[in-house]
Amino acid sequence: MGNVNGVELAIFLFFFAVVTVLGFMAARWRKGDSLDSLDEWGLGGRGFGTFITWFLVGGDIYTAYTFIAVPATLYAGSVVGFFAVPYTIVLYPIIFIFLPRLWSVSHRHGYVTPADFVRGRFDSKVLALAVAITGLLATMPYIALQLIGIQVVLEVMGIGGGSDSTFLAKDLPLFIAFAVLAAYTYASGLRAPALIAFVKDTLIYVVILVAVFWLPSQLGGWGHIFDVAQQSFDAFNKDNADAIASGAAAAKGSIPPPVAQWAYASLALGSALALFMYPHSLTGVLASKNRSVLRRNAALLPAYSFLLGLLALLGFAAIAAGVTVDNPQQAVPALFDKQFPDWFAGLAFAAIAIGALVPAAIMSIAAANLWTRNVYKAFINPGATAKQEATQSKLMSLVVKFGALVFVLGLDAQNAINFQLLGGVWILQTLPTIVFALYTRWFHRWALLAGWAVGMVYGTLTAYNVPKPGEAGSHFGGPLQVIPFTDTKGYIALTALVINILVAVVLTLVLRAVKVGEGVDQTRPSDYVADSGDPGVEEVLVGEPGTAPSGG
Amino acid sequence: MAVAGPGKERGAPATRVTGGTGIVVGILLAVGIVLPLLVPVYDSDAPRLGGFPFFYWFQLALIPVVSLLTVVAFRLSLRSTDKERESVGLPPRKDAEGDR
């Protein structure tokens, strides 16, 4: 890239500075007694209705994932990346089904994390630990995806990046952005992203609407855009026919070939099932006022999916606009750089970068609370004071972010969507323990633990062994692998989940036959349909998300 | 689906058979989940609409369709939830009318 555009950079830095100041000031916004309790640090506001829940949960969808990772796959001619659309369609009927039950049982018993529920349901600290650790681990690549979003924007603006620059000059701007994020999250807790989210959403809505409605008209309309993209893929396939035949390169296209159909469907289904296993998604869900808020949201949230789909297609628009970048992640930022006036491009870049900071902060806080509640307090220091808990969470939020940085530096940043998909491989293995348990206690706790372990090991090893296209012997090259006993490729997370469930079913039969202790279930049938206003239902989860359970 | 499970286990709801409404809700949601995953149905360029290949406009069109299914399911579920609550011994919801 090289040339730094003064106007662009000034606008970008202005918004970044505003957000940084807001982040630190947030500590004083609607201040409680002290930030030295998790209650204060971990959740700055509560009792969310339909509107705020829509905003909170929907905000998780508009991340760097939307602007950078998904359009990048389309730009690169890997049309399977459009699975993000069916993913966000099937998501809502799925959450409609099980989330209200999780809401009810959590509000009856004061559960704040999914691991809390698992512990209460199965009387097993160890199974809860497995769920908590998985949440921590899976969050890291998801945060890494956000950091990559920031990095890409910086590179397109001409600061940082570049293969000829030294390591320091290359990654320094990213480290600075990262350090700022870590510092104000540490200082202000969830108040920081909550306050910044107002700026973020305003900027993002403006950019999205302009990008998906004005830009295509400048480029000759959608029909033209699709045609140009397809012609460019056809030309690529013709020029690289030999490499494609030998497997050294992947054929490009704008419509998935028949062999990719199951890959497409399994990525959509696997991602949809995985999303609400993540600690940060559940935080927003449990903070909603009642069951109807959740169900109403399941009907309203798809409005986001529509814009997500159009944004994804900007990957094709970049081709039609003649954007040529080596790193496909830069396609959309480079498109903005090329088509928008400087000041608006600067604003768009600020929107993307801030749009990455907010979820990164929320994710690290949610993961840190999981640590404090289900690892630290459960195993290390059961008598921890509120202040000790807050300290633990603050420190852990830093550890999680550093973990994310390791993923950024260690994995192939050219394909950031794989980060989200790798997290999905892990987090999905907690589904039987959480979701099945909402309906039945037939599964044995140790069988669920064994199924989880097998799924984790299989998923990780399989993902590790996927080479990047054209690089034999490389690792973590993609989310797809041939399903055992077939010749069809599918999303590794879903295959691992099936194996996980099979192990859990078989071992449950065995463990029940030999009558291994099942533990005492704290929950009752009525807990799963209880709503706000019912006896024993807490209007607000005390300590949400993170302090001591207030009892059943 | 959430319609009718085994559920004689300790701790699980004694029964979740919520009658016809529950089944309809289950079917509506099942359509919303299964239809977008039937990739072979829409995996083609033709027919185009407004310049969009079928593959793209069909999926974009699914969004409001599935959303509508979910809205209908939401309305119906309020009724079946009341029955479900009755079956586990909870009183009728106080604000039940306000939701409709």
Domains, chain A, ranges and CATH?
58-438 (1.20.1730.10)
Q: Is the pLDDT of residue A426 over 90?
A: yes
Radius of gyration of chain A (CA): 23
Q: B2 and A98 in contact by Cβ < 8 A?
A: yes
Name which of B10, B39, B95 is nearest A441 (Cβ-Cβ).
B10
> What is the pLDDT at residue A415?
66
Residues of A in Cβ contact (< 8 Å) with B69: 93
Residues of B in Cβ contact (< 8 Å) with A122: none
Sign of CA dihedral A548, A552, B5, B8: positive
> What is the pLDDT at residue B97?
40
> What is the pLDDT at residue A538?
64
CA nearest to A312 within chain B: B56
For residues A63 and A408, what is the distance between their CA atoms, to the nearest angstrom? 16
- SS3 (DSSP) at A169: helix
Which pair of structure tokens corresponds to residue B65? 């369709």
Give DSSP secondary structure letters for A10-46: HHHHHHHHHHHHHHHHGGGTT--S-TTSHHHHH-S--
Domain-by-domain residue ranges, chain B?
A: 19-84
Confidence of residue A500 (pLDDT cuts 50, 70, 90): very high
Residues of A in Cβ contact (< 8 Å) with B11: 121, 441, 521, 523-525
Residues of A in Cβ contact (< 8 Å) with B28: 93
Q: Is the pLDDT of residue A331 over 70?
A: yes
Q: What is the mean pLDDT of residues A112-134?
A: 91
User: DSSP character for A326?
Assistant: S
Name which of A254, A256, A310 is nearest B39 (Cβ-Cβ).
A256
> A465 and A473 in contact (C-beta within 8 Å)?
no
- SS3 (DSSP) at A550: coil
Amino acid code (one letter) for A474: S
The ipTM (two decimal places) reads 0.82
> What is the pLDDT at residue A65?
75
> What is the pLDDT at residue A56?
64
State which H helix or E strand residue A450 sits in: helix A445-464
> What is the pLDDT at residue A168?
57
CA nearest to A104 within chain B: B85
Residues of A in Cβ contact (< 8 Å) with B80: none
Give the best residue of A231, A255, A307 to mutate against chain B (max B CB count within 10 A): A255
> What is the pLDDT at residue A367?
87
Q: Which of A168-177, A479-488, A520-529, A537-546 has the lowest mean pLDDT?
A: A537-546
> What is the pLDDT at residue A515?
85
DSSP β-bridge partners for residue B58: none
For residues A252 and A238, what is the distance between their CA atoms, to the nearest angstrom? 10
Residues of B in Cβ contact (< 8 Å) with A256: 39, 43, 55
> What is the pLDDT at residue B38?
92
> What is the pLDDT at residue A169?
62
Q: Is the pLDDT of residue A268 over 70?
A: yes
Closest of A69, A46, A66 to residue A58, by C-alpha: A66
For residues A151 and A407, what is the distance between their CA atoms, to the nearest angstrom? 13
Q: Is the pLDDT of residue A428 over 80?
A: yes
Query: Is A172 or A216 the better-scoring residue by pLDDT?
Result: A216
Which pair of structure tokens corresponds to residue A192? 């920081």
CB-side neighbour CA atoms (13 Å) of A447: 26
pLDDT tens column, A62-113? 677 778 888 998 998 888 889 999 998 998 888 888 888 888 888 888 787 8
Confidence of residue B99 (pLDDT cuts 50, 70, 90): very low
φ, ψ of residue A358 to 5 degrees: the values are -60, -55
What CA–CA distances, in Å, run from B52 to A89, A446, A457?
19, 51, 42
Q: Is the pLDDT of residue A43 over 70?
A: no
Name which of B10, B64, B73 is nearest A96 (Cβ-Cβ).
B73
Average pLDDT in chain A: 82
> A470 and A515 in contact (C-beta within 8 Å)?
no
CA-based nearest distance B25→chain A, Å: 10
Q: Is the pLDDT of residue A40 over 80?
A: no
Q: B63 and A258 in contact by Cβ < 8 A?
A: no
> What is the pLDDT at residue A455?
96
Which pair of structure tokens corresponds to residue A209? 């609407």
Query: Is B74 or B19 the better-scoring residue by pLDDT?
Result: B74
Q: B59 and A82 in contact by Cβ < 8 A?
A: yes
Tracing tokens 């979740």 back to the chain, one arrives at: B16
Q: Is the pLDDT of residue A162 over 60?
A: no
Q: How many CB atoms lie within 10 A of CB A133?
A: 18
Q: Is the pLDDT of residue A389 over 90?
A: no
